[in-house]
Amino acid sequence: MLEGRQQLVYGPVPSRRLGRSLGVDLVPLKTCSYDCVYCQLGRTTRKTVRRQRWVDPSDVVAQVRARLESEPDVIALAGSGEPTLHAGIGDVIAGIKRLTDIPVAVITNGSLLGRPAVRRGLADADIVLPSLDAPDDSLFRLINRPHSTLRFDDVVDGMITFRKGYRGQVWLEVMLLADVTGIASEVERLAELAARIAPERIQLNTAVRPPAESFVAPVSAGSLQAFARLFAPHAEVIADTAPAGGDRVAARADILALLSRRPCTVADIAAGLGIHHGEALKAVTALVTEGALELHSHEDRSFYVAASVTVENRDEERS
Ligand code: SF4
């Protein structure tokens, strides 16, 4: 179990795929079946395929209820690890569905969809967003660095089986990395696999946020548009969320909760928390001065990250 009374719900955050998304964290930071080279949360510190009740589903549902007044577009089970590693994910989804009609989405790496219990747990979600980043086993190992028990063919077969039995929408994310999978021959192979999975939508992404490994580089916007046409149906390129600042005063706890899940620009923070750009800038500048946030540069853009995340990752590397 997670210790103490943790903040399990954060945002709404500006999701590039879902709009204003109320994030729900079901597993501890970097508890995942993968260790993706592009992960924006750094290296995986607990690589596992063992499902547990990391947190009480009724606590999660109570925290969601308390945040519904923020009027998110969607409630997304995602956060700081792989949400299907929570053995009670079905109870969480059922509890949220009893509270609200706001759609529930699950952002998953898809690695456990071959398991009947995982498919049953996701049955009542409105949208499931799995990832497909590699066209074969060797690139799967290079990019996703999966748990040793996971086989690429089984993961793809699991996604196909899930799609056949699931009533909701499946939106497949394909993450392309420059000079690795961001080349036409690899994209064509990914497109063939995506057609077999047969999702409602295919969404192309690239490493726009600071990655776990420094050799990871994003594919250019022009190349992404060209690659999108290789998919049938054509893939969408996920555009960066535009800033849309409001006038709510930034709550320090909200900013820290948001930035402990994902690195954000000032524009992301303003859009996600519904605050003015200047207010967001003022708040993060103060938090950097205090040492609670760090500023990282990636591809000529400035991202803020909670210092607790980088410290946790450094500690894990040392141990
Ligand atoms: S990107 Fe997602 S699937 Fe990959 S290591 Fe990070 S949390 Fe896990």
Backbone φ, ψ for residue 65 (5° rounding): -55, -40
Rg of the Cα atoms in the chain: 19
pLDDT tens profile 116-134: 999 999 999 999 999 999 9
Q: Which domain CATH number covers 303?
A: 1.10.10.10
User: Whole domain around residue 248: which residue ranges?
Assistant: 244-319
Which residue has its alpha carbon closest to ligand 1 atom 1?
39
Of residues 165 and 254, which shows the higher confidence score?
165
Domain boundary at 241, 256, 272, which? 241
Percentage of the residues of the chain whose pLDDT score is greater than 70:
91
As for how many domains the chain has, the answer is 2
pLDDT of the residue at 248: 47
Please check whether residues 113 and 248 belong to one and the same domain. no
Please check whether residues 278 and 211 belong to one and the same domain. no
Please check whether residues 271 and 142 belong to one and the same domain. no
> 3-state class of 83 per DSSP?
helix
Please check whether residues 20 and 113 belong to one and the same domain. yes
pLDDT tens profile 13-61: 878 789 899 999 999 989 999 999 999 888 999 999 999 999 999 999 9
Please check whether residues 219 and 279 belong to one and the same domain. no
Neighbours of 252 (CB within 10 A): 13
Burial class of 291 by CB neighbour count within 10 A (0 to 12, 13 to 18, 19+): exposed
> Ligand 1 center to residue 226 CA distance, Å?
26
> Ligand 1 center to residue 109 CA distance, Å?
7
Which residue has its alpha carbon closest to ligand 1 atom 4?
36
Which of 90, 101, 87, 104 is CA-nearest to residue 9?
104
Domain boundary at 241, 261, 281, which? 241
**Which residues does a 6 A CB cutoff place in the pocket of ligand 1?**
32, 34-36, 39, 41, 44, 81-82, 109
Q: Which domain CATH number covers 210?
A: 3.20.20.70
| Claim: this prediction has a pTM higher than 0.75 | yes
Neighbours of 22 (CB within 10 A): 26
pLDDT tens profile 252-291: 778 888 888 888 988 888 877 777 777 788 888 888 888 8
Q: 2 in a domain, yes or no?
A: no
